[in-house]
Amino acid sequence: MSSDSIAPASHIPSLEKSQIFKDKSNIIEKEGHDCYPHLDEANEKTITITIPAFYSENSFPVDDKAYKTDGSSISELNGDSSDHEAGTSYNKMHDPTYFPEGGLWAYLSLLGGFLSVLTTWGIITSFGVFQTYYKTDLFKHLSSFQLGWIQSLQLSCIFMGGVFTGRLFDDGYFYYLEIIGSTLIFVCFMLVAECTKLYQILLAQGVGMGLGMGMLFGPVLGCCSAYFKRKRGFAMCVCASGGGVGGIIFPIAANNLIQHVGFSWTIRILAFIELFFLIILISVTRDRLPFHVRQEYARKKYTSSIFSLNSWVDKTALHTPEFMFFVGGVALCFFALYTPFSQIQSFAIYMNADPNIITYIVAILNAAGVVGRFTVFLIARYLGALNMTVLFSIAAAICCYPFFTINSNASLVVFTIFYGYVSGVVGTFPPFCVPHLTEDITRLGTRFSMCFFALSIITAFSTPISGLTLGPNNNEFMHLSMLCGGFFTGGAILMILGRVSKAGWKWEVI
């Protein structure tokens, strides 16, 4: 072999310490030296490779194959190029440190991410329509506290589902989670049409759909994040906007269908609309890192069993103050975030608003949220992600405190638009900021799990407690305003502490 055929270092993929590519019976290890592959003159079929030992434990593992100077693999040096014709042994699309920032599968997966949020958070942000029907018709004898457990369980289960799917996603079980989660959402949605008791609604709409949503949306967002780094903020905005779009489609459809076909058939029609989106989602979403690569990384990263608590916790996150403050802050914000979504239509009925406003108030709220989700990318670009969390946590608190003073159609619409926009930004905090605070994308699933665990605990009680503040007659909206404003204020304080722990008090885009 001539000297000019020796592969330069740039064509040798990342390896762990020293690795030999072919005949391991004749190994010369010079660990730590800048040596490159060459032929042993005594045996033309034997390759001796010495790799500098400066690769981290997260370096990308590759197959034991030789490399040509163009980076492609060869099975033999005697002219057999069948392995080369079959493909290359190092595929940069399978390298977690590489981000294509585009391409067909990247944008198709982005579409899948959009649909995953539409089919999960689009239903959750439409809950005000269901809440109104339950309160005025199906369960008119029950209090807001009792009915609040439906959305609360759904929120808790969607986040709790995300806790377990984070580790499973890191282990390479994306497609299993996607299929099982989609199936569970559709089946439980159809079962809601058959429910006549509160406990049945709690199991089907609260627990069943919530767990299915948790199995679906987190892994799909993690899949999208693996395609983008520089454009990740924009990608997350596109995905998050799906919740607002779903929050427009489902409330309008539900409010109009209930009047014509009744509750049961309304639910069935909505379930088939959901199924249509889920089929498209499954068809277009593909995990960039194949199963065997994720398994290899999981084996290196997790030293304990999958059933061990340590395997579900990223210990490096516990020593990252900005991440821990962020998790605490977003948990407090999410306690209050979805309360107006569940109570806004009931409040409009209480204040005798125009019938058209009552019908479309939830859709207006979500439409403003779409604008918020799309503009969050530009806001974060110029202010920084952590600065954005501080600003909009404070804005949400300011918005909630005067909620109870609304006394006209115009002021109700103004509040709805303003809060919808702010809530759209706040709702993007986890999918937007968790990847921003995670350098190693192979730990992204676990970081999401930790964040979702905190959210699952606090949202389990959010809607019932909010309903309890309304009093026995469901009209103490001043107490509700103070509760929501207080939690947003607490979240803003923790966001400030997280921002300060990251960059101090000096101003900078971060």
Domains of the chain (ranges; CATH) run 1-86 (no CATH), 104-503 (1.20.1250.20)
Q: Residues of the chain with pLDDT > 90: what percent?
A: 32
pLDDT tens-digit map of 218-240: 788 877 777 877 777 788 788 88
Residue 290 has pLDDT above 50, yes or no: yes
Q: Which string of b and e fits 375-395 if b means at least 16 CB within 10 Å? A: ebbebbeebbbbbbbbbbbbb
pLDDT tens figures, 91-147: 665 565 666 777 788 888 889 889 999 999 999 989 888 988 998 888 888 888 888
Structure tokens at 67: 């490399």
Q: How far apart are CA 169 and CA 445, in angstroms?
A: 6
pLDDT class for 417, splitting at 50, 70, 90?
very high
More confident residue, 324 or 96: 324
- In the 8-state DSSP scheme, what is residue 485? H
Secondary structure of 262-322 in the HEC alphabet? Answer: HHHHHHHHHHHHHHHHHHHHHHHCCCCCCHHHHHHHHHHHCCCCCCCHHHHCCHHHHCCHH
Q: How many CB atoms lie within 10 A of CB 414?
A: 12
The answer to whether residue 442 scores a pLDDT higher than 50 is yes
Pairing of strands 38-40, 66-67: unpaired
Residue-level pLDDT at 310:
64
The mean per-residue pLDDT over the stretch 493-510 comes to: 86
- Spatial distance between the Cα atoms of 167 and 306, rounded to a whole number of angstroms: 8
DSSP state at residue 136: I
Most confident of 240-244, 489-493, 501-505: 489-493
Rounded CA separation 172/181 (Å): 15
Q: What percent of the chain has pLDDT over 70?
A: 75
pLDDT at 89: 46
- Average pLDDT of every residue of the chain: 78
29-80: pLDDT as tens digits = 333 333 334 444 444 443 433 333 333 333 333 343 333 334 333 333 333 4
